[in-house]
Chain A
């Protein structure tokens, strides 16, 4: 049998149409020990208070919708289990983002940043005709981990630099740029260089590493950013010296 435990959920509420400030509302939820904390939030929505607003969909750690602060930690709520939590759990919207409503944050800025880094294959030569590129497993492994990002934005909520300066491109978007830079099929590194080496790019990162600690998919943006600093410096010198440095 799976046990039931009563948990006090303190959930941040904020409706800009009627609240001047966010406040907390407490719900007592009979939680199964095998539940994710998202299940408890869904219980509140279905059984206790239908007005609660939050995002969720897949409930299997892949759609990236349900990132929230759980007891102060940026967390994917479908991946954060009741069995690992105390009897009192505080749920807040992700840090470092404006609150749209309750647990829903405004994502415009990070969506724009994902766009800004040109996260797509850029080719100078045409791809092979009617067949795939050859890519060795070693080449694939150079960027594979960076493709795992689900855009849950927990890393932005954890990032002290993004907290201070919203111009900082930030962990997920920079890692995404690095993912394409490292892809043997891509020839767009120099096009991305200006964005990344800019004052809002990789050099702003203070290497606290909080992004990697909270990443539910083990993408390790912090390591990616350090690699990018080295790459950026090399690339800068190559351009100075008139070497294109692109993969063919």
Chain B
């Protein structure tokens, strides 16, 4: 095994990991950063984000309004100290990105343009046409290239954390091109590995999003928080699950059912607004959880449209005209035309809700600190409590920047006091044990379970028991199913025995991580017996602040389903209230 010492290890080189790496390199160029990623940085899934990044920009907006929208949008499960910091730092981070060259779209006067987004009372979403995440990622990647203290380990697959006396001490990773194992010896590890949307059958998430960081932390004894809150984006392309940005509706697109009726007005988001006129925080600009739930009801009522890819509603953007669509939504036009043959300029586009984002993740605080000293988390893989029970669109790209920066600053302070990365026989033994486990998995033969088979059963079960609406019976069945799959996993066969770029082995290891995401999503969905934000129970239809104004925490149990505990929500200035998306006409 190769041995590498670093002052700080960052796992994941998407938007969050890169922002953190740059923050460390700028302020502490003497700290050596090992940036480990299973893919080249520009392949990270940040690239797929389309709509934009939220931060107060205009004179009629305020930090308080962004705070209120975020906390209300999260159905009051957000930790408000985190939200306060987030809204304060958001504009600064977005300006910083502009200074680094992000090609933001512009207003007539040459200032950065902002667009409306769901659940936001003011226009505050900074955007670069409909490729905002792509441009943010490439800007950060390219900017990072000027810092010699950032040493990249591209296409290294992180396997597990090393820890001793309750402290994080590094990570073990496999170099894909050689199959060689690397012991990264470091007192500081930042997890920035993104979410785990691949646990569901129908998702906007790329193949890389397999919850690796969440699973590594969980196996190391750190709980996963609020895993029941999984966001469906209301407008995915049927068949592929490709995202059509909320910007479609921000620019004026409308949603209609099979009768051409704007059904959202029947679900607490009316009255109807004039077509093509943007009215904030109501109708099509309601929050994602409400819109996705409305689809579910429309489908039950028989109001959806049968397409070759299943039941859909229609996203109609024709009234925007070709010029605006080309200027603001060129990727949407290309995707819809290519994958379902509907050009938004001339046709309504079929869409349906699709798994998009995990509000939950590695339990950490505002500064990214987990309960394991030396282990930090940021971005989608973390759960600092920012998004609560439902994330507002365009808050997550900003979160990568804000949490990336603050977590990096915190980690640097820790690195200065944590001492060096001394050789330690106990850690070496731990690393060897991890590698032995992987070698055994690679070499075992005669297994009668296939990776794709278990993955398929897991995904189907998650959709059935932990989808848009949940109930006790369905959630119990899914919990039991995932526990069964976890047992069956030991009998999987890795057919590829090569050391060189072994994606069969990688898929097996990713499946192991996905099963962690699956068991925690299912268990927390079962245990939260109320309805809040993205977690809706048919058998407990109301929000229950007496019993469940709390974060769920899933702890790993080696031979059993996860143990669930609860922790307090930090409330500073906004007491739980009613989420009102009925526009100005009360």
Contact = CB atoms under 8 A, between A and B. Distances in A.
Contact of A132 (B43, B95, B142): B95
Contact of B501 (A45, A50, A102, A183): A102
The 10 A-B pairs with the shortest beta carbon distances in the complex, nearest first, are: A134-B110, A57-B206, A101-B501, A51-B496, A46-B452, A132-B98, A119-B142, A58-B206, A127-B99, A121-B101
A145 B135 CA distance: 12
Contact of B207 (A52, A57, A120): A57
Contacts of A21: none
A2 interface: yes
A1 B101 CA distance: 46
A60 interface: yes
Interface in A120-157: 120-121, 127, 130-137, 139-140, 143-144, 147-148, 150-151
Interface string A42-70: 00011101111111111111111100000
Contacts of A134: 109-111
A34 B240 CA distance: 10
Contact of B339 (A18, A34, A132, A143): A34
A162 interface: no
Nearest to B506: A53
Contacts of B421: none
B500 A147 contact: no
A50 B142 contact: no
Given A81-B338, A107-B40, A132-B95, A62 B131 contact: yes
Pick the most buried of A16, A56, A63, A180: most chain B CB atoms within 10 A of its CB. Answer: A63
Pick the most buried of A53, A115, A143: most chain B CB atoms within 10 A of its CB. Answer: A53
A114 interface: yes
Contact of A121 (B40, B99, B207): B99
A47 B452 CA distance: 8
Interface in B96-111: 98-101, 103-106, 108-111
30 contacts: A2-B308, A16-B500, A34-B308, A50-B451, A50-B452, A50-B496, A50-B507, A58-B47, A59-B206, A60-B240, A62-B331, A63-B44, A79-B338, A101-B498, A101-B500, A118-B145, A119-B142, A120-B100, A120-B101, A120-B142, A120-B146, A132-B99, A135-B106, A136-B106, A137-B108, A139-B110, A140-B106, A147-B103, A148-B131, A185-B101
B500 A58 contact: no
B79 to A, nearest CB: 27
B444 to A, nearest CB: 14
A100 interface: yes
A133 B450 CA distance: 54
B134 interface: yes
Pick the most buried of A16, A121, A180: most chain B CB atoms within 10 A of its CB. Answer: A121
Interface string A86-120: 00000000000000111010110001001100111
A interface secondary structure, majority: loop
B308 A1 contact: yes
B504 A50 contact: yes
A15 B501 CA distance: 9
B242 interface: yes
Given A102-B501, A115-B145, 19 more contacts: A17-B498, A51-B495, A51-B496, A53-B500, A56-B207, A57-B39, A59-B242, A61-B335, A61-B338, A100-B177, A120-B143, A120-B145, A121-B100, A121-B143, A130-B92, A133-B98, A136-B106, A137-B108, A150-B134
A10 interface: no
A186 interface: yes
Contacts of B450: 50
Interface residues of A, number: 65
B106 A151 contact: no
Contact of A63 (B42, B110, B308, B498): B42
Pick the most buried of B39, B110, B239, B243: most chain A CB atoms within 10 A of its CB. Answer: B110
A63 B109 contact: no
A127 B105 CA distance: 19
B502 interface: yes
A133 B99 contact: yes
A17 B98 CA distance: 47
A100 B503 CA distance: 13
A62 B498 contact: no
Contacts of B239: 34
B106 A137 contact: yes
Pick the most buried of A18, A49, A147, A180: most chain B CB atoms within 10 A of its CB. Answer: A147
Given A58-B45, A63-B206, A15 B99 contact: no
Contacts of A16: 500
Contacts of A15: 498, 500
B436 interface: no
B138 interface: yes
Contact of A54 (B143, B206, B503): B503
A60 B335 contact: yes
A144 B145 contact: no
Contacts of B240: 59-60
Given A34-B339, A62-B134, A143-B103, A18 B42 contact: no
Contacts of A62: 47-48, 131, 134, 331
A144 B104 CA distance: 10
B42 A185 contact: no
Contacts of A60: 48, 240, 242-243, 335
Contact of A51 (B104, B339, B498): B498
A40 B99 CA distance: 42
